Amino acid sequence: MGLHVALKIARSTLTYLVLTTCLLLSGGPKAVGLPQRTHILIVGSSTAFPIVSAAAESMRRRGVLTTSPVVESTGSGGGIKLFCGGMGLRTPDITMTSRRMRSTERSICAGNGVNDIREVKIGYDGIVLANAKSLQRLRLSRRDLYLALAREVPAHGPGAGLVKNFYTSWQQVNPDLPDIPIRVFGPPPTSGTRDIFVERLLKPACLQVRELKLLHDTAPRAFNQQCYALREDGAFISAGENDARIVRKLIGDPQALGIFGYSFLDSNRDRLQAASVNGIEPLFELIESGIYPLSRPLYLYTKPGHERLVKELDVFVDVLLSAAFSGPEGLLIDHGLVPLPGVERAAPAN
């Protein structure tokens, strides 16, 4: 082979390798000729994780899917960030959330070319506050939780203003509560569970504080920063995007309280018990009806544009929404999903 021919082949080979690498790295829907990804990629809520994982495993076992989906617990906020990162095989097909996607997040999605998004409500869940069964069952109010967990609380005496939280035991917060240290394991700021917790419990209590009510009326953003700030002195411990980890910590630390999804309480009732919130316990029917203060819907967000890249994507969503999986007698009830009421189940998904 002559030198000229050899160089020509080498240049052609190099060009092919560079182009192939670029196509693979882009992973975009315009990368014509790329093979389909063989699995569905799902990220998001740690609360929805065991529910969606159980659905994926069952579908694979029953032969509904040819390849097991990959399901990763990243937290609602973290999952949405990954989902909104763009289109193509390198990005998730589905994000599972324990809150609704915000308008700011949709804008980020749109800025990265993720314009067509399907929102699917799959059922309900409740946020619980639980401790070990070896201790007294707690009866907590919004005010109790605000005084125990807020970074700043009202000082004693009228018009004394806000000071760094000085409460160290539950009995100091409320004489009717046990004399045990305030130590709460909970989710990080990226978690949908934390978003619902502060909005449903801390915010109403904040509005009963004169200084914070004034701030709410005059500077809403500053109010949110002040009201939603939790303690950083060891009384509240961010335990990451993993509800199962919080459960393990409670078992090893019987005096602590944990904040996590109802599904994890349901599978650990032999060891844990839930506190009531404003006199209401997290019972299945009270979560379903919305009477329990920390009842919240669970969502899936999907990319219809990925259906041509991952051939079983639409099958997965349709089967998960079927009566056999998420209906009143469906498979996922045993994994902590509270089914949608009949009227909601009949409504078409967005």
pLDDT in tens, 189-222: 888 888 899 999 999 999 999 889 999 999 999 9
pLDDT for the residue numbered 37: 72
d(CA 172, CA 144): 10
pLDDT for the residue numbered 30: 40
Res. 33: pLDDT tops 60: no
CA angle at 195 for the pair 194 and 201, rounded to the nearest 5°: 85
Pairing of strands 236-238, 184-186: parallel
Helix (H, G, I), strand (E, B) or coil at 273: strand
User: Angle of helix 76-83 relative to helix 103-111, nearest 10 degrees?
Assistant: 30
70, two tokens: 């990959």
Residue 40's pLDDT band, with cuts at 50, 70 and 90, is very high
Please give the CATH topology (third level) of the domain spanning 37-125+297-346: D-Maltodextrin-Binding Protein; domain 2 (3.40.190)
Helix, strand, coil: what percent of the chain each, to 5?
Answer: 40, 20, 40
Length of the chain: 350
Res. 250: pLDDT tops 70: yes
Neighbours of 234 (CB within 10 A): 9
State the span(s) of the chain assigned CATH 3.40.190.10: 37-125+297-346, 126-296
% of residues, the chain, pLDDT over 70: 87
d(CA 96, CA 226): 29
322, two tokens: 């079927």
84-88, 114-118, 239-243, 262-266 — which is least confidently predicted? Answer: 239-243
Helix (H, G, I), strand (E, B) or coil at 253: coil
Residue with tokens 């639980």: 130
Res. 27: pLDDT tops 60: no
Beta carbons of 278 and 78 less than 8 angstroms apart: no
d(CA 275, CA 137): 6
Neighbours of 189 (CB within 10 A): 13
pLDDT in tens, 127-171: 999 999 988 899 999 999 999 999 999 997 666 789 999 999 999
pLDDT in tens, 251-292: 889 899 999 888 888 888 899 999 999 999 999 999 988 899
DSSP summary character for residue 116: -
**C-alpha distance from residue 24 to each of 11, 85, 89, 173, 343 (Å):** 20, 16, 9, 58, 45
Q: Characterise 202 by phi-psi region: left (phi > 0), alpha (psi -120 to 50), beta (else).
A: alpha
Q: What is the pTM of this model?
A: 0.77
Beta carbons of 263 and 51 less than 8 angstroms apart: yes
pLDDT for the residue numbered 347: 61
Res. 184: pLDDT tops 90: yes
Please give the CATH topology (third level) of the domain spanning 126-296: D-Maltodextrin-Binding Protein; domain 2 (3.40.190)
